[in-house]
Chains A and B, each alone.
Chain A
Amino acid sequence: MYSIELKVNGRPYSVMVDLKTTLLEVLRDKLFITSPKVGCNTGDCGACSVLLDGRLVRSCITNALTAAGREVTTVEGLARPGEIHPLQRAFHEHYAAQCGFCTPGMILAAKALLDENPEPTRDQVREALSGNLCRCTGYVKIVDAVMAAAQEMAGAGALKAGRG
C-alpha cells in the first residue's frame, strides 16, 4: 500500500492505495464523493468523468498513484455550498437530466469545454460531449443546456469586465 496526497475540490486529502486502485475508487469508496459514477468501468461511457488539473479524464481508468499531488474537481466542487454553477442551473432549467446517471460527467465535460472555448457552436458542444453516453435524453436538451449556460456565463463575464 502507498499513501498519496491529492486535492479534491480544493481540500487536501491523504489516502492509502495500491497498484490497482483507480481514482474513481478513491473518490467514491474512500472520500465518499459520489457524483462520479461507476458505469462501464472500462473508460467507454463517461459517467466517471472528473477534471484532473482542469482536464477532463475518466476516473475509472486513471491509476490513483498517477493522481498524487494533483487537483481533482467533481460536480461537488463547482460552486460554493448552497449555490449552484450556471451549468447545473441550465441542466435543471432545460430538462437535460432524466435518470441523472450521466449528468455529473456531462456537466464536467461541458465545463472542460467552456473553460477552453467560452462561446462554442452546437457542433463543438456535441464533439466535446461525444465520449459521454446518455441513454435517456437523446442529447438535444443536454446541448441546449450547455449553449444556455455558455451564454449566461459569457454575459456574466461581460458584466464583470464592464465593472472592472
Chain B
Amino acid sequence: MAEGGFYTAASPAEACALLARHGDGARLLAGGTDLMVAVNERRFAPQVLIYLGACGLNYIRVEGGKLLIGAATPFAEILKSDLVRDQAPLLAEAVAHLASPAIRNAGTVGGNLANASPAADSATALLALGASLKLTSPAGQRVAALEDFFTGPGQSVLKAGELIEEVIVPAQAQGAGWAYRKLGKRKAQSLSVVSVAVYCPLADGKCRGARLALGAVAPTPLLARKAAALLEGQKLEAGLIDRAAKAAAEETRPIDDVRGSAWYRRRAAEGLVRQLLGQIAGQ
C-alpha cells in the first residue's frame, strides 16, 4: 500500500496524477460535507486525501451560451452568482433549497454529483437543464452527459484516477418554462423525499424538447423520458399534464426508507409533476 498523506493539489492535473498514483486508498476532498460525515460515523478511514480547495476549480463563467462552473465551486457562490440567476434560474432555485447556509458555504457542486446520491439536489436541476461534465484523468479529458453519468446509488461512470473538473450547463432559452419543487421533512437542512425539476422550452405555445428530472425516486437521479416524449410538440393542457404526470410516476423505481415509503414517493412524484407542469402552463 502506498504511504498515507494529505495533499493540497495545485491544479486539476496534479489532483488526478495523485489520485492515479495512490490508487484505491485515495479520496478527493472538497468541502467535506459528505466525506467527513462518513469519517465521523467510522464508515470511512482516509489513507490519502487530495484536497481540491486550491486547485483553481472555484469559478463561474459564461462561454458560447454555456455556463461553466468549476467542480469545486461551493453552492453559496452558485446561489450568489448573477450569471447563474440570468442563465440558469432553475439551477439557482434548486440550490436555494439545498441544505442550509453553512453547508452551502462548504459543499461543492462537483462533490454533490461525484457522490452520486439518488437524492443529490443539484442533480435534478442539472439533469433537467441537459448539463454535461468535463472529466479529467491522466489519460486526458472527456465530456459525459449528466444523464449518462450516474449508474447506481453512490456509483458513476468515473474511472479510477478520474475527476469532475467542470459542470457545463446550457443557458436556458428565452421564454422557456421551468419549475422546481423539493419535498423534505423540513424546509431547510433536509434530504429530499422527492424533488422534481422541469425545463420546458416552448415554440408557439408547444413544448419542444422538455426535460423532467426526478430526485430520490430511483437508484439514480432520474430523467423521465416517457413523460417528456408525451409532451413533445403538444400544448400544455390539463389532460396532457395528467397523462405526463402519470407517465413520470410509472418511470420511478422508489424505495421505502426513513424519509418516506415507495408508495408515497411515487404518488408525490406524480403530484409534483402535475403541479409543476400546471405552473408552467400558467406562466
Is the Cβ of A131 less than 8 Å from the Cβ of B49? Answer: no
B contact residues around A90 at 8 Å (CB): none
The 8 Å CB contact of B36, one of A22, A46, A127, is A22
Which of A8-16, A28-36, A37-45 forms contacts with chain B? A37-45
Please count how many residues in chain B sit with their CB below 8 Å of the partner chain's CB atoms. 28
Q: Take A63-B49, A66-B53 as given contacts and tell me if A43 and B103 are in contact as well, using a CB distance cutoff of 8 Å.
A: yes
B1 within 8 A of A: no
How far is A42 from B39 in the complex, measured between Cα atoms in Å? 10
Question: In the bound complex, do residue B53 and residue A41 qualify as a contact, i.e. CB atoms below 8 Å apart?
Answer: no
Q: Which of A95-116 contact B (CB under 8 A)?
A: 109, 112
Q: Which residues on A are within 8 Å of B, measured CB to CB?
A: 2, 19-20, 22, 41-44, 46, 49, 55-58, 60-63, 65-66, 109, 112, 127-128, 130-133
One digit per residue, 1 when the CB lies within 8 angstroms of any chain A CB and 0 when it does not, for chain B 161-179 equals 0000000000000000000
What residues of chain A lie closer than 8 Å to B53, measured between beta carbons? 66
Task: Evaluate contact between B101 and A128: CB separation under 8 angstroms.
Answer: yes
Report which of A61, A112, A132 forms a contact with B32, defined as CB distance below 8 A.
A61
Main secondary structure, interface of A, reads mixed
Q: Is the CB of A66 within 8 A of B101?
A: no
Closest chain-B Cβ to A107's Cβ sits at a distance in Å of 13
- Contact between A130 and B49, CB atoms less than 8 A apart: no
What residues on A are CB-neighbors of B41 within 8 Å? 42
Residue in A61, A66, A131 whose CB lies within 8 Å of B189: A131
Known pairs A20-B46, A58-B102, A58-B103; list 20 more (Cβ under 8 Å): A2-B6, A19-B6, A20-B39, A20-B45, A42-B41, A43-B103, A46-B189, A57-B106, A60-B40, A61-B33, A61-B36, A62-B32, A63-B32, A63-B51, A66-B32, A66-B51, A109-B102, A112-B101, A128-B101, A130-B188
CA distance A19 to B36 in the complex (A): 10
Residues in A whose Cβ lies below 8 Å from that of B40 = 22, 41-42, 60-61
- Chain B residues contacting A42 (CB-CB under 8 Å) are 37, 40-41
Residues of chain A with a CB closer than 8 A to B51's CB: 63, 65-66
Cα separation A2 to B40 with both chains bound (whole Å): 19
The list of the 7 closest CB pairs from A to B, nearest first, reads A131-B100, A130-B188, A61-B36, A56-B102, A19-B46, A131-B189, A55-B105
Residues of A within 8 A of B103 (CB): 43, 58, 131
Hey, which chain B residues are within 8 Å of A44, CB to CB?
189
Q: Determine which residue in A58, A60, A133 has the highest number of CB atoms from chain B within 10 A of its CB, and name it.
A: A58
Residues of B within 8 A of A22 (CB): 36, 40
Q: Judging by beta carbons under 8 Å apart, are B188 and A131 in contact?
A: yes
Specify which chain A residues have a CB less than 8 angstroms from the CB of B37 in the assembled complex.
42-43, 61
CB pair A56–B29 under 8 Å, yes or no, is: no
Q: Which residue of B lies closest to A58 (CB)?
A: B102
